[in-house]
A and B are shown apart, each in its own frame.
Chain A
Amino acid sequence: MVNRGNTKFYEAKGMYADSTVFDIFSYRMLLGDPETALTKPNSMVVTVSFAEKYFGTENPMGQSLTIDNQEEYVVTGLLEDIPQNSHFTFSFLISMVSDKSGLSDNWARYQFYTYLLIVENATPEVVDTKFPAILAIRIGEENAAAVKPFLQPLTEIHLRSHLFREMETNADIAYIYAYAAIALFIILLACINFMNLATAAATRRTKEVGVRKVAGAGRRALALQYLGEALLMSFMSLGVAIVLIEIFMPAFNGITGKNLSANLTDGSFLLPALLILTVIVGIISGSYPALVLSRLSPIRAIKGESGGAGGSSLRRALVTFQFAVTITLMIATAVVFSQRRYISAKSLGFDKHHLIVVPLRSNLLKSNHEAIKIELLRNPNISKVSASANMPGGSDYGVPIVADGLPPGETFAIRHLIADQNFIDTFGMEIVDGRELSTDYPDDERGSYLINEEAARQLGWDQPVGKSISIPAFKREQGTVVGVVKDFHFRSVHTPISPVIMYVQPSNWLTRISIKVLAGNIPELLASIEKIWTTFDPSQPFTYSFFDEEYDGLYNREKKGQQILGYFTAIAIFIAALGLFGLVTFAAETRTKEIGIRKALGASVSSIVSLLSGEFVKLVLIANLFAWPAAWWAINRWLENFAYRIEPGLGTFVMAGLLALAIAVITVSTQALKAATANPVEALRYE
C-alpha cells in the first residue's frame, strides 16, 4: 500500500531495481538523472500515471510517499508510462539499496530477476559457462552444484519461455502459429470462392471472350484483363477490411482481453505486409479464371461453350478442399471444447466453490489471525475458516526437503503448501492415511507434516506415516509425517500432479484467510466480514476475492484462445457455405433447360434436387477423407499439452462430418428446390 496523506492505494506493480536498470532498459526518463536516481536508499522512480494519481499536477520530484505505513521514499525520477507490450511493466521502482531483507545480497535466494547486457560479439552460451565458478565462490561448491543458471534472450521470453514464476504471464508461440494458420486457411477459402464463382460466371462471359478474340484481343491481353479485375477486387476488399478492423477491433480486444491495435501509419511491417498479401490474394484468385478464359478458342467461345469438363473438375477439387478445412476446424473445435468440459468436470481433489479469500495485509492482522477466525466463525453463514501462506493455483516455495530414505546429501523437490490446521477441512480435501494436522497436538506447530500420495509414491514410501522430514532452508529440523492427503491439483491440469508437502509456519508467514461460506446473502456476509477486518486493523482497505474465480484464472488465456477458435470455425463454415451456395445457384441456373427437359419427361422434384445436390454431397463426403487424418494429427498435438486429457473418439469425427454434410445439404437444397419446383414450361420456352 502506498499513501500520501489520505491518498492511499494498493499498488501491485512496484519493484526493487538496481541503479543500473536504466543502462539495460530503454525507459524514457522525463525528470531526474538516470545515473543517480536509484543509487541512494529510500529513493523511488515513478511513472507519469502513477505520479498523477498521487500528486495530480504538482511536480513529483522530491515529494515523498509512505509504503506499507512504514518507510518513506523520495521521488527521484519520472518515467514515461511503460508500454503495455513491454516485457514487464511497473508503476514505480525502488532503489535496491533500500531493501532491508538482505536478500538482494544473498546469492542462494532467487528473489530477483537478473538481466545482463552482453557485449556485442559474446554468445550467451559462453557466458553461461562462467556461472558455476562465480556461484561456487558466492555460495560454496556444494550449493552451487544444485543450480544451473542460464541466459535466455529477452525477445524470446514472451513467446517461448515457460519457466516457473515468469515475470509476466507469457504468451505461447504455438497459439500464434495456430491463429496464423487458421487465418491463412480462411483467406484460402475465400480465394477459392472467388476462383470458383469467377470461372463459373466466366462460362457466361464466353461470348464476350469470343467477340474480343475475334476483334483481335490476344491471350495475354485477355489474361491480364481478368487478372486486373481480380486485383481490383482484392484491393477494394482491403479497403473494406481496414474499415471492418477499425469497427471490430474494440470488440475483439474485449473478447481476448488483449490490447491489440492495427496501426497502419506507424511505419511498421503491417502496411507493406497487407499490400503484399492483397496482391498475392488477387493473383491467386485471378490467375485461374484468367487462364481458363483466355484459352478458349474464339469459335467455341462465340457458340457459348464453356471451358469444358476440366474447369468443373478443378472446381470440385477446390470445394472438396474447402470442406476438408472446415471439417478439420469443426473437429478441432469440438475436441477443444470437450477437453475444456473434461477439465472443468475433473475432480480437483478439493472443493473450490463457496470460498471467499481475504488477504492478511498487515502484521497486526497476521498476528491476530486466530482471533479473526474465531470472530468469523460466530457468523452462522460461515462454516469453516483457514489461514494460509499460499493456496492451490497460486505460487509456492521452491525449496527442497530432506527426507528418510534419500541418499545422504540428496534433497527432494516438492511443492509447499503452508497453512494452519484447518486447511484440509476448509478446502474439502481428503486424508487417505494417518490424520490431519490439529491444534490438539501442540507438536503439529513445528514438527508435523502432511504429504500427498504423489510425494509418498516418488519417495518410495509404502508406510509414509511416521517417516521423518526436514526443511533446512526454512530451518525446520527433523519432523514427522502424520498423514497423507489424497492427490489434488495444486497447479493447472496441464501439469501432472506434483509432490506436495503441507505444514504450519509461524503467523508472520500467513497471507490470507479462506472462508467457507454457506449459500446465502453474499453482500451482507461480505459486509460483516469487512467489519471484522476493520476492527482488527482499521488502517487497511478491505479487499476480497472468490477462490473459484481466482483458480479458474489459470485457464483464462486458454479459454479465450478457444473462444477465438470457435469464431474462426464459424467464419470458415460460413465462407465455405457461401461458396457452395454460389456454385449451386450457378449450377441450377446453367442447367435450367436440362431441369425443364427432365421434368417434362417425368422427373420428380426430389430426383431433381438430388441431381443438383448429389454432386456436392459427394464432395463433402470425400472431404472427410482428408479432414479426418489432418484433424487427428492436430488435436493429438494439442492434447499433448495436457497431463490429463480426453481420448477423442470416432464419434467426434462422424459428428463433424455429418454437421458439414447437413450444412452443405441445407445450403444446396434450398437452391436446388427452387430450380426443381420452377415451371418446366419456363425453361423450355427460351432458346
Chain B
Amino acid sequence: MIKTSGLKKLYVTEEVETTALNNINIEIDAGEFVAIMGPSGCGKSTLLNVLGMLDNPTDGEYYFLDHEVSSYTESQRANLRKNNLGFVFQSFNLIDELTVYENVELPLLYQKVAPAARKEKVMAAMDQMSMTHRKNHFPQQLSGGQQQRVAVARAVVARPKVILADEPTGNLDSANGDEVMGLLADLNKDGTTIIMVTHAPQYAEYSNRVIHLLDGRVVSEKMSGAGRA
C-alpha cells in the first residue's frame, strides 16, 4: 500500500542545511500497525508528514496505493489525503472555535458527504470514542485525554485506509495514553492501517513492526508485539 524508495528530505534555512530524511526505503502493507521510533530530531515527524502527503520529499519516490505522489500538486495531494488518510497529532490540533461535533464533522465536509450521512457517521465515530455526551462542548472545555479522543474520532470518521499518528500519547498521562492506544489497536483490528510515531516502548508493543530511525536513516526494522506472535 505504501512504498518509498530513496526518499530524501532536506531543510534549507539561511544558516544550515538539515538532512531530515536520508535514503528511506520502506514498504508498509494494508492492515499493518507500524511504530516509528528514534531520538528527538531524527526525522520521525518529517517522515510521517511525507507519508501523510502534508509535505513533499526533496528527492526519491513515494508510492501511495500505486500513485507516484512525490510530484503531485497540492490539490492532487489534498484529494488523496481527504479520501484515504486520517491524522492524530501529539497536540490534538482541534479547532478551538468549533464544537466537538463540528471538529469531528470537518473531514466529511471536505469530502462533500451528504448531510444525513454526515450526521450518522459523526455520531457513530463519537460513540465509538465515547464522546457523544460532549458533542456541544468546545475543545478548551475538555481534558487532554478527551481532546485526543475527539481527535481520534475525527481521524476515523471518514473511514480512512490509513491513520497517521504523531506521538498521539505524548501529551497524555498513562491512563489516558493507554486508552488512546487501545482505540488505535481496535481500529487496526478492524483493518485500518496505522503508522504511529512514539517514544514509549510500551506503546510500540501495540504495533506489529517497529522502524527505528537515526539521523534521518532507517537503522532497523523489527517485528514486535503482535507481529512476533
Residues of A with Cβ closer than 8 Å to B? 593-594, 596-605, 607, 677, 679-681, 684-685, 687
Which single residue of chain A is at the shortest CB-CB distance from B155?
A: A601
Contact (Cβ within 8 A) B55 A684: no
Whether B99 sits at the interface, judged by CB under 8 Å, is: no
Which single residue of chain B is at the shortest CB-CB distance from A682?
A: B55
Given contacts A593-B93, A681-B55, A684-B93, contact A600 B74 (CB under 8 A): no
**Chain A interface, >50% SS class:** helix
Taking CB atoms, residues of chain B closer than 8 Å to A599 are 54, 78
Q: List 15 A-B contacts (CB under 8 A).
A: A597-B93, A597-B94, A598-B110, A599-B78, A601-B107, A602-B78, A602-B79, A602-B81, A603-B78, A604-B110, A605-B75, A680-B54, A681-B49, A684-B54, A684-B93
Taking CB atoms, residues of chain A closer than 8 Å to B49 are 681
Tally the A-B contacts, defined by beta carbons under 8 Å. Answer: 54
Contact (Cβ within 8 A) B75 A602: no
Taking CB atoms, residues of chain A closer than 8 Å to B81 are 600-602
Taking CB atoms, residues of chain A closer than 8 Å to B95 are 594, 597-598
Which single residue of chain B is at the shortest CB-CB distance from A594?
A: B95
- Identify A604's interface contact among B78, B87, B94, B96, CB under 8 A: B78
Contact (Cβ within 8 A) B82 A601: yes
Complex CA distance for A603 and B110, rounded to whole angstroms: 6
Complex CA distance for A685 and B89, rounded to whole angstroms: 10
Contact (Cβ within 8 A) A601 B110: yes
Taking CB atoms, residues of chain B closer than 8 Å to A605 are 74-75
Taking CB atoms, residues of chain A closer than 8 Å to B93 are 593, 596-597, 600, 684
New contact pairs (5) apart from A600-B81, A601-B87, A601-B154, CB-CB < 8 Å = A597-B94, A598-B110, A601-B106, A601-B110, A602-B107
Which single residue of chain A is at the shortest CB-CB distance from B91?
A: A687
Restricting to B68-95, which residues have a CB under 8 Å from any CB of A?
74-75, 78-79, 81-83, 87, 89, 91, 93-95
Taking CB atoms, residues of chain A closer than 8 Å to B87 are 600-601
Taking CB atoms, residues of chain A closer than 8 Å to B94 are 597
Taking CB atoms, residues of chain B closer than 8 Å to A684 are 54, 89, 93
Closest beta carbon of chain A to B148's beta carbon, Å? 14
Whether B97 sits at the interface, judged by CB under 8 Å, is: yes
Complex CA distance for A304 and B89, rounded to whole angstroms: 21
Complex CA distance for A593 and B92, rounded to whole angstroms: 11
Complex CA distance for A199 and B74, rounded to whole angstroms: 35
Contact (Cβ within 8 A) B74 A677: yes
Closest beta carbon of chain A to B86's beta carbon, Å? 9
- The 0/1 profile, CB within 8 Å of A marked 1, for residues 28-51 of chain B is 000000000000000001000100
Which single residue of chain B is at the shortest CB-CB distance from A607?
A: B110
Taking CB atoms, residues of chain A closer than 8 Å to B83 are 602
Whether B111 sits at the interface, judged by CB under 8 Å, is: yes
Taking CB atoms, residues of chain A closer than 8 Å to B97 are 594
Complex CA distance for A599 and B79, rounded to whole angstroms: 10
- Identify A602's interface contact among B55, B89, B91, B111, CB under 8 A: B111
Taking CB atoms, residues of chain B closer than 8 Å to A679 are 54-55
Taking CB atoms, residues of chain B closer than 8 Å to A596 are 93
- The 0/1 profile, CB within 8 Å of A marked 1, for residues 94-121 of chain B is 1111000000001100110000000000
Complex CA distance for A277 and B97, rounded to whole angstroms: 40
Complex CA distance for A665 and B82, rounded to whole angstroms: 28
Which single residue of chain B is at the shortest CB-CB distance from A599?
A: B78
- Identify B82's interface contact among A593, A602, A680, CB under 8 A: A602
Contact (Cβ within 8 A) B110 A600: no
Taking CB atoms, residues of chain A closer than 8 Å to B154 are 601
Taking CB atoms, residues of chain A closer than 8 Å to B110 are 598, 601-604, 607
Complex CA distance for A680 and B78, rounded to whole angstroms: 11
Taking CB atoms, residues of chain A closer than 8 Å to B74 are 605, 677
Complex CA distance for A603 and B79, rounded to whole angstroms: 9
Given contacts A677-B74, A681-B49, A684-B93, contact A600 B54 (CB under 8 A): yes
Contact (Cβ within 8 A) B54 A604: no
Closest beta carbon of chain B to A310's beta carbon, Å? 14
Complex CA distance for A601 and B160, rounded to whole angstroms: 11
Complex CA distance for A593 and B91, rounded to whole angstroms: 11
Which single residue of chain A is at the shortest CB-CB distance from B97?
A: A594
Taking CB atoms, residues of chain B closer than 8 Å to A677 are 74
Taking CB atoms, residues of chain A closer than 8 Å to B54 are 599-600, 679-681, 684
Which single residue of chain A is at the shortest CB-CB distance from B49?
A: A681
Taking CB atoms, residues of chain A closer than 8 Å to B52 are 600
Restricting to B124-156, which residues have a CB under 8 Å from any CB of A?
154
The 6 closest A-B pairs by CB, nearest first: A602-B82, A602-B110, A601-B107, A681-B55, A687-B91, A681-B54
Complex CA distance for A100 and B82, rounded to whole angstroms: 101
Complex CA distance for A85 and B95, rounded to whole angstroms: 65
Which single residue of chain B is at the shortest CB-CB distance from A595?
A: B95
Complex CA distance for A607 and B109, rounded to whole angstroms: 11
Complex CA distance for A596 and B94, rounded to whole angstroms: 11
Contact (Cβ within 8 A) A598 B75: no
Taking CB atoms, residues of chain B closer than 8 Å to A603 are 78, 110
